[in-house]
């Protein structure tokens, strides 16, 4: 069984500072029970050596990828994983059926399905992390095609290199959407635990308790893909991270639409 975080389901449903009613909580519980029975989680990954050419080129698995964000994410890594995970077609079937019978259930299945595949990917990543730590390496956060300036077209390379249809049952539509829809592909970098990368990372970022979401929000700026600098886009050099430690996301002008929000 995949352990789901109720708080994340609330977040995907759009609840921020509102507590769902007991009736909604019960509806979520019943939907999650059906999802646990319908899910068929599968995961596959391969590790490859990488090399990089400043300022934005990464070479991995025969690919030459131009992306400043991926370059920064993998900077200092000797190897990286190409990773794919899914929770199966059963979740899509529940969503499809509920779109006819109950729009509320359909919304819950969508939200809980997003959390389910994230939770499953997190659990599989943690297994990789444990293995790599024994060998003196730490993992960078997962970084997926379509995020920031990393081209979504890389999905076709993931499908080919990982043979996702065979090992995970994941296929791609003509528009590069994955089927099953609750699926994830990502690069995961491996960096030596003692490595220091002064140009990008502080020692705190290399700690084993590193918060992946905070890293992605602070270091890999998703608004760079718009062609504007962070300051031009938001009036600040950071995305949804106030420089005053005592402040919270709720005091940020971008909080209502920010996917990196924690509170």
Domain layout of the chain by residue ranges: 6-210, 221-263
Weakest-pLDDT range from 115-129, 156-170, 182-196: 182-196
pLDDT at 193: 83
pLDDT at 17: 79
pLDDT, mean over the chain: 82
CATH 3.40.109.40 fits 6-210, yes or no: yes
Residue 16 — very low, low, confident or very high, per pLDDT cuts 50/70/90?
confident
pLDDT in tens, 87-137: 999 999 999 999 999 999 999 999 999 999 999 999 999 999 999 999 999
pLDDT at 222: 46
Closest CA to 25 of 39, 9, 12, 14: 9
Distance of CA 175 to the CA centre of its chain: 20
Question: Which of the two residues, 130 and 225, has the higher pLDDT score?
Answer: 130
Residue 215 has pLDDT above 70, yes or no: no
Residue 218 — very low, low, confident or very high, per pLDDT cuts 50/70/90?
low
pLDDT at 233: 37
pLDDT in tens, 37-79: 999 999 999 999 999 999 999 999 999 999 999 999 999 999 9
pLDDT at 19: 84
% pLDDT > 90, the chain? 69
Residue 181 has pLDDT above 90, yes or no: yes
Weakest-pLDDT range from 15-29, 123-137, 212-226: 212-226
């Amino acid at each position: 069984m995949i352990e789901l975080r109720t708080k994340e389901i609330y977040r995907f449903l759009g609840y921020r500072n509102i507590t769902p009613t007991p009736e909604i909580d019960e509806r979520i519980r019943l939907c999650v029970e059906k999802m646990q029975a319908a899910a068929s989680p599968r995961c596959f990954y391969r590790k490859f050596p990488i090399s990089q050419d400043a300022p934005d080129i990464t070479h991995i698995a025969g690919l030459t990828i131009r992306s400043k964000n991926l370059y920064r994410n993998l900077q200092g890594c000797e190897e990286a994983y190409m990773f794919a995970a899914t929770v199966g077609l059963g979740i899509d079937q529940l969503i499809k059926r509920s779109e006819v019978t109950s729009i509320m259930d359909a919304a819950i299945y969508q939200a809980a399905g997003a959390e389910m595949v994230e939770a499953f990917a997190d659990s599989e990543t943690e297994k990789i992390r444990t293995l790599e730590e024994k060998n003196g390496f730490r993992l960078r956060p997962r970084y997926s095609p379509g995020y920031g300036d990393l081209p979504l077209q890389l999905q076709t390379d993931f499908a080919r290199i990982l043979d996702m249809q065979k090992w995970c049952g994941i296929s791609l539509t003509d528009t590069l959407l994955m089927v099953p829809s609750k699926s994830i592909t990502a690069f995961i970098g491996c960096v030596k635990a003692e490595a220091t990368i002064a140009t990008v990372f502080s020692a705190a970022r290399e700690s084993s308790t590193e918060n992946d979401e905070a890293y992605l929000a602070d270091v890999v700026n998703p608004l760079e893909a718009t062609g504007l600098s962070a300051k031009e886009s938001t009036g600040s050099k950071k995305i949804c991270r106030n420089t005053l430690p005592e402040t919270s996301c709720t005091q940020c002008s971008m909080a209502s639409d920010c996917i990196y929000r924690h509170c």
